[in-house]
Amino acid sequence: MPQTMGLLGKKIGMTRVYTAEGRAVGVTVIEAGPCVVLQKKTVAKEGYNAIQIGFGSKKDSRLSKPMAGHVKAAGKGGFYHIKEFRVADPEQYEVGQEIQVADLFKVGDLIDISGNVKGRGFQGVMKRHGFKGGKATHGSMFHRAPGSIGCSAWPSRVIKGRRMPGQMGNNLITKKNAIVMDIRPEQNVLLVKGPVPGSPATVLQLFSK
């Protein structure tokens, strides 16, 4: 498992910024942190090194008793989103410590961003997999169907992994090597080049490299 520290953030939307040469670049605006360290995990006790962080404040009245006890040591209240990140040395962090966007990232960094893409429900093979489809001519009975999916003689079954209609989207994907275009620490905002997974308000995992 890679020892990669990161932050949790929330996708705000997209806009554009201008480079020093005057070129307009599309960027995604992400509210990155601040995240609070809730727990340290070590090889001696849990079998691996990691820290657990929380993002998105939650009222104490909405916490279950077990969760209230879990976050009590940090002294920063509850959180809607909790995530573990593997680290080489958990002792570098303290429970209750706030990790800001400027602590991990700087302009020009390449980062990995994971998030759930938009769910598109049950879709056919043309939208889901990009199939061409049949001829749209008079008398044709084959427009958007997948066609043959197997053989009758051998192996007399549908091969595992065949591209078929089904649920599209709403799965976790990772965009690798996104370029950090700007950081605004006073607003906890990170601007990265191009689109990232998900719709506005999607919770993202931001990994430093």
Mean pLDDT, rounded, for 60-88: 91
Cβ atoms of 170 and 22 within 8 Å: the answer is no
At residue 52, the pLDDT reads: 93
> Would you say residue 78 has pLDDT above 70?
yes
Q: What angle do CA 145, 157, 119 make, to 5 degrees?
A: 45
> Would you say residue 136 has pLDDT above 90?
no
Q: Of 2, 1, 8, 34, which Cα lies nearest the Cα of 113? A: 8
Set out the domains of the chain in order of their start, with CATH numbers.
Answer: 6-123+174-207 (2.40.30.10), 124-168 (no CATH)
Q: What is the pLDDT of residues 103-119, one digit of tens each?
A: 889 998 999 999 999 99
Structure tokens, 175: 């965009």
Structure tokens, 76: 């920063």
Where do we find the tokens 């599209």? 168
At residue 127, the pLDDT reads: 96
> Would you say residue 2 has pLDDT above 80?
no
Phi-psi sector, 187: left (phi>0), alpha (psi -120 to 50), beta: alpha
Residue 195, CA distances (Å) to 12, 24, 180, 204 in order: 11, 15, 12, 12
Residues in the chain: 209
At residue 193, the pLDDT reads: 95
At residue 170, the pLDDT reads: 93
Report residue 1's pLDDT band, with 50, 70 and 90 as the boundaries: very low
Q: What is the pLDDT of residues 155-200, one digit of tens each?
A: 888 889 999 999 999 999 999 999 999 999 999 999 999 999 999 9
* Residue 7 amino acid letter: L
How far apart, in whole angstroms, are the C-alpha atoms of residue 179 and residue 194? 8
Query: What is the pTM assigned to this prediction?
Result: 0.81
Mean pLDDT, rounded, for 53-60: 92
β partners of residue 82:
54
Neighbours of 190 (CB within 10 A): 32
At residue 3, the pLDDT reads: 56
How far apart, in whole angstroms, are the C-alpha atoms of residue 69 and residue 175? 35
- CA dihedral in degrees (57, 61, 65, 70; nearest 10)? 20
Q: What is the pLDDT of residues 137-153, one digit of tens each?
A: 898 888 999 988 888 88
At residue 38, the pLDDT reads: 93
> Would you say residue 130 has pLDDT above 80?
yes
How far apart, in whole angstroms, are the C-alpha atoms of residue 36 and residue 79? 9
Q: What is the pLDDT of residues 16-55, one digit of tens each?
A: 999 888 899 999 999 998 999 999 999 989 899 999 999 9
